[in-house]
Amino acid sequence: MIQFRTHIGLLQHLPGMHYLEVPQDVVQALGTLNIRLICTVNGQLKFQCGLMALGEGRAYISISKKRMQQLGVKLHDEVTVMLEKDDSVYGTEVPAEIEELLQQDEEGNRRFLLLKPGMQRYMLHHVSAVKSPQLRVDRAITLIENLKKLPEGKENFRAMLGLPPR
């Protein structure tokens, strides 16, 4: 577990995207950028995350406006961050709706397990992003059914959502 003080910044290349800066010494202590973490901010809000390179050995963790509101913080505020390794299988919570579907659908489960971890997390986030249990079921079914139609190794988010290629 690593604890440090940092500030909330705003990414220049992604307008509107706020972040928590992770200093170079913390990145070095973690040993890699390629790690899933549990981030606790000001001892109040805990969420799963990853690190993105910021330059000069530093990294950042994105923080949504909703999370900032929950914490009562704004751009340039100083916060205390605690990071610990995330040992969960996917680096995010698995919605019950997709978990149940994957238990019932052998081919869907096989194809899901072949995906890169980032694609798996995307699917899990997409399903859990809605409050209605029926919408979560619908999203899970749509994603898995579309995934099974795609050639292995050629999966992409648009196709899994059922959208036409650009």
> Which residue range is the domain that position 140 belongs to?
96-161
Q: How confident is the model at residue 9 (pLDDT cuts 50, 70, 90)?
A: very high
Q: How many CA atoms lie within 13 A of 21 on its CB side?
A: 19
Which of residues 27, 62, 85 is at a domain's end? 85
Asked if residue 90 belongs to a domain, the reply is: no
Q: Measuring CA to CA, how many Å separate 17 from each of 11, 65, 130?
A: 6, 8, 21
Contact status, residue 9 vs residue 18, Cβ threshold 8 Å: yes
Do 8 and 62 reside in the same domain of the chain? yes
Mean pLDDT across the chain, nearest whole number? 92
Write the pLDDT tens digit of every residue in 68-79.
999 999 999 999
Do 71 and 113 reside in the same domain of the chain? no
| CATH code of the domain covering residue 29 | 2.40.30.100
Write the pLDDT tens digit of every residue in 33-56.
888 899 999 999 999 899 999 989
Name the pTM for this structure: 0.70
Do 33 and 80 reside in the same domain of the chain? yes
First to last CA, the chain: 43
Q: Which residues pair with 81 in a beta bridge?
A: 4, 41
